[in-house]
Structure 1
């Protein structure tokens, strides 16, 4: 009897892993895959690409707003119902985008889609709920690796979808994938609520609790700074490769595929390190690689002409560091308040969103030498993150808290 119960549990856990990876894929799909369709969208709605870009901004704002509510609410009523509702709303928004021919209604449906996609913030809470110890850490490494791969493949996928199905293709595929995720969530997740709910009865109280903890905020900032290095490169990469180096969209897509391979290598390194050193040491290793990548980029920018190689070499190093540091920092942050996993995930995701958006915007406003600016960004962010990690470690040593996850 116990063996049968164990087999069911293992089957459910495998299903949960595939569900989480599908959520990671859907998290990048509505933004990155749509980028190659900007000209077609502008033509369809008789607008400009700059106006279409507004839909991306509204989408990001919608997700940020939704996740602030969904995370704490999931601590009270559970994850499954909110995930099913979010996926349904996101599908409704995507189908509305396909059906409308009015640009204002298109923006409205994009916001509806974004509000539904806010449920993807529950992926971190589900990891905290369903897995433990090293298995939890390995899964977070896998999710970070998968995120990088999906983002790297997205421009090529968007180009192929645009050629085959037009701008509506990405919305049709998103709807199909969302339906699959909805069914998997209904099948593999149970209806149980979190065991401890007393501290989550009020949104502001829950946020005040987690955001008032220096260690919690510090670990999420470390994760956010590591993410910002990757995100900044993704944002300005079209300016470097297509504008400055005059590469075609297809060549640009192939370069990002190479960049995605670095996430695989980084994920392997992170998995090995997670079994040999503790989380704080993993953070130091990852951030040190990002620092080295920044110094390498500055050296190459000063001594060599701008080429795809001089950009990719430091970026591959940076990506490996990001893949090592982010999962370790996220695991340590999420372990502090397991009874508030939804609130913790929402607060951390918002910090990541704000840091990534602001830092990438600042870099894009410095068009004189994007390569050098990116290098300085890596050095500064990794330096601040290393200082934060050292401060947290000293605080834990003073109170006698063990330095292990």
Structure 2
């Protein structure tokens, strides 16, 4: 196995890792830190918590469409300029959200913020550019684990910001963090891009190349379905815990603190599995845990009244599965077209956010029991993902058999 080494110096490596983790932290802010402010946002805009939840889904879809353009452009003009531009646009959108008192304008500025946040897709391209082999896999696991840590802390941070600065506090802190990331990227990054022989590939040709590959799309769909399970819970969690169970913002933040800790445990398990089993088996293990979580949630919904434990226990299982599945599937997908890392990252992240946004929106608008809807979704999504992974593995075996048979006959 190719162990792989970093293509940057130890000092540059520390700078790259800190920049990537800062981007992960910034990616949490527009979503998770805002969750405790749902009631305050609904009251301010004279709307309902469900409308505010829908704005989160809209934000995810906005990011997805922004990434469609950012990735291929970064393969041509480099990562740095686009990252700086994206940070600037996201700051503009966040400030606009603070200044408006009209819900429609708030949604517009949230979309502007989302368009700027589309530059976060470059984190995967930067991992592909700056690291090699197993170090890429370890860094991707670290990034998913860091997401869990930030998720576990962000509700408490959101509760504190809501209590001290109101719902606008999360947008002001986001703006400050975006400015810090912009400055760090300006200092650390060189405006380089992968060296590709021949003229740059056109926008549509680059997408045709990556999206025309069954394995590439399959691996990203596996990652997307795992992400959708996490994201659906995040979107509707205020509706379950604060609206239906009448929990306070502080109690809600403690619930998500436990949920985020499961990401840390999942990251540790994923790191151990990365050393001992193949990525394909990691994917199967993670998806099996998500399937199990769906079955457990359905059982608890059918036999027990809605309570924090009946939702949180299956979600802890699901989170472990998500943390194991996503890094393995992402590394498999990103390794197929390393010379088009920006396009690959954009195509994959677009698939992820569209799936996450649309599936979470459907669940949040579901007229039936949300707990049961989550359970059925987990079972369905993990089942489809397992079938996809099996199909990809079968295709790989067929190609290997054909390659062995080819010299013997034409």
TM-score higher than 0.5: yes
List per-residue Cα deviations over 1:126-151 (Å, max 9, x = no partner): 11111111111011111112223323
Q: Name 1:48's counterpart in structure 2.
A: 47
C-alpha separation in 2, matches of 1:374 and 1:127: 32
Q: What do the CA deviations read for 1:2-24 (whole angstroms, capped 9, x no partner)?
A: xxxx9981111111111111111
Match of 2:16 in 1: 16
CA contact (8 A) 2:57 2:361 kept: no
Q: CA RMSD in A?
A: 2.4
Pairing 1:171–2:168 present: no
1:157-186: CA deviations, max 9, x gaps? 222112112233222211211121112112
TM-score with structure 1 setting the length: 0.90
* 1:52-131 equivalent positions in 2, closer than 5 A: 56=56, 59-99=59-99, 106-131=106-131
The answer on whether the counterparts of 2:206 and 2:340 sit within 8 Å (CA) in structure 1 is: yes
Q: Deviations over 1:358-393 (max 9, x none)?
A: 222332343433222222221221111111111111
Counterpart position of 1:3: none
1:394 match = 394
Taking the TM superposition and a 5 Å limit, the aligned residue runs for 1:299-338 are 299-338=299-338
Q: Which residue of 1 aligns with 2:29?
A: 29
Counterpart residue number, 1:275: 275
Q: Any gaps of 5 or more consecutive residues in structure 1?
A: 1-5
Q: Which residue does 1:217 correspond to in 2?
A: 217
Deviation at 1:115, TM superposition (A): 2.0
Q: Give matches, 1:256-405, under 5 Å.
A: 256-400=256-400
Q: Does 1:235 align with 2:257?
A: no
Which shifted more, 168-177 or 234-243?
234-243
Give SS of 1:86's match: helix
User: Does the CA-based 8 Å contact 1:148-1:260 persist in structure 2?
Assistant: yes
The Cα of 1:61 is off from its aligned counterpart by 4.1
Count residues in correspondence.
Answer: 395
1:286 and 1:320 in contact (8 A); partners too:
yes
Summarize deviations over 1:48-89 as a string: whole Å, max 9, x none: 357766754554343222211000000111111111121122
Secondary structure at the aligned position of 2:276 is classed as coil
Structure 1's 114 and 298: CA in aligned 2 closer, same or farther, altered over 3 A? Answer: closer
TM-superposition CA deviations, 1:289-318 (whole Å, max 9, x none)? 111212222222233333222222211111
Question: Bigger CA drift: 316-325 or 29-38?
Answer: 29-38
Q: Distance in 1 between matches of 2:373 and 2:65?
A: 30
Relative to the length of structure 2, the TM-score reads 0.89
Alpha-carbon distance in structure 2 between the residues aligned to 1:83 and 1:197:
24
- Deviates further, 304-313 or 344-353: 304-313
Aligned residue for 2:9, secondary structure, equals: helix
